[in-house]
Chain A
Amino acid sequence: MLIRPEAVSAGAARLIGRMSPLVLFIALWYGACSSGLVNSEFLPTPTKVAAALADLVSGGEIARNLFVTLFRAAVGLALGSICGIWIGLMMARSERFKAYVTPIVGGTYSLPKSALIPLFALWFGIGNVTAIAAVFLACLLPMIVNTYHGVVTTPKVLVWSAQALGTTDRELPSQVLLRSAMPDIFTGLRIALGFSFVLAISTEMIASTSGIGKLIFLYGENGTYDYMFAAIACIVAVAFVADRVTLLGMHRLLRWHESAAADYERRRL
């Protein structure tokens, strides 16, 4: 395949354009450290953090802890999404079910889920189950609310058309309702993805012996702030990649949607 040189230079220019705020941020950070504006004991310089990052990445410790955190976040997110989609769908289809669930959803919606971590630690002990339970609960609510909204706003002419074309009540969710709700479900999924990292890491800080959260907490306790920042940088990078992958999947699956293409362009960095 031929690659046109002007396309390469245009791509490079765009990359530089995108990177410039990041470069500016690091420059400001460096300036704040070297000018003595902040105590470099508490805010290590970018070079020290970079050195710590190189040390962390070359050792196996970061990868092992990252894997633990990702496992907890992914399992909680998957369980929360599946249950949330099911509950949202049921709420939209059954008035009785909705009447039972609405007070619980409404009551717990604004509750910070991290407040329940000590309780979960008491019930489930220190480790995977507590972290997964906290992530699950945090992911559940945005998935319920967004799925419900998506299913409820399915145009009735779509449902009627499907029925007149031989769709049974059992086929209706998979053939029409959940597909029509897909843009909303993805909105919920992106919110839940963010929550999954927040809850996995905060649970690890309180009730775990492993994971990135625990690592950040320990480095903070020991005062090795350069390593703490390096660990934070790692999880930021991973969360960023996870979000981009979700966005890419959304773009692929929602090609049919009016605003999907525009949305993707707008949100892409």
Chain B
Amino acid sequence: MLNIVRPKIEIRRVSKAYASDHGPVLALRDTDLAVGEGEFVSIVGPSGCGKSTLLYIVGGFLDADGDVIIDEKAIMGPGTDRGIVFQEYALFPWLTVEDNIGYGLDRQHVSATDRKKIIDRLIGVIGLTGFEKRYPRELSGGMKQRVAIARTLACDPAILLLDEPFGALDAQTREIMQDELLRIWLETQKTVLLVTHDVTEAVYLSNRICIMSARPGQIIEQFTVDLDRTRPREELVLSPDFNTIRNKVWLSVRRQALAAGQQNVDPS
């Protein structure tokens, strides 16, 4: 069990309103959340609840009322301490695989030898040796997302922000990618904030799951997941412990979805 001694990320009374044709829409209302160092926290909720919005605010991409505090300092915008991976990969299409991974290193003027060392290691980690000179358009969805993860890891951010990173992948690829992410997290012990609508994914990966209410979003329930991550997937997923917590989370999300008049939560 992880104790939050010193929160790595603190979200304090964050509210966000969007302008629309019918007046302002409140996406988030007084949201609070603290994430400990090295913790893997998932945010699950019905679609349109503002969970991605919350992640973008932590990333510093969107302005909001309230404070986001990283290492006891309020953020002023995006920073290399927070790496982000989007569902739509967001690779630079004009750069090859190795130049995409090296992009952040180039911004920091890392020397050519160090750059090459880091890229070679990460290409090995994501298993794309031989694809260094390919452009993103020549890669499959799973390969693109591996490159996006490697590009983020190259800058060695303390925090990973993941916005439904495997949402566009097929079921088999998604499971492989989840296992890779779990392995990377166990090795690097980074602080991870994951937004997903896949309950099984959240339970499989996180220490803690936060359930968000329908709009305006607020974290209304939290579940601690205390499972042994080193067990093989099939054993873990089929275990009674896993399913007990999965069912609890699913019911909680479903209540929110029904409250929002939506029934589009994937029960898988």
Interface residues of A (CB under 8 A from B): 155-158, 160-168, 171, 175-176, 179-180, 182, 255-258
Contacts and interface: CB of A to CB of B under 8 A. Distances in A.
A171 B107 CA distance: 9
Contact of A160 (B84, B94, B103, B107): B84
Given A155-B90, A158-B90, A164 B95 contact: no
B50 interface: no
B104 interface: yes
Contact of B103 (A165, A180, A258): A165
A165 B94 contact: no
B79 A164 contact: yes
Given A256-B137, A258-B137, A163 B90 contact: no
Q: Is the interface of A mostly helix, strand, loop or mixed?
A: helix
B92 A179 contact: yes
Contact of B59 (A160, A167, A180): A160
A165 B81 CA distance: 9
B131 interface: no
B54 interface: no
B151 A182 contact: no
Contacts of B95: 256
A164 B78 contact: yes
Nearest to A160: B61
> Which 9 A-B residue pairs are closest in the complex by CB-CB distance?
A165-B104, A163-B78, A157-B90, A166-B107, A256-B94, A161-B90, A256-B135, A166-B80, A157-B86
Interface residues of B, number: 30
Nearest to A168: B107
B59 to A, nearest CB: 6
Interface string B135-162: 1110000000000100110010100000
Nearest to A176: B92
16 contacts: A156-B61, A160-B78, A160-B86, A160-B90, A161-B90, A163-B77, A164-B79, A164-B84, A164-B157, A165-B104, A166-B104, A179-B94, A180-B93, A256-B136, A257-B94, A258-B93
A173 to B, nearest CB: 14
A164 B82 contact: yes
B151 A165 contact: yes
Contacts of A157: 86, 88, 90
Nearest to A260: B137
Interface string B106-138: 011000000000000000000000000001110
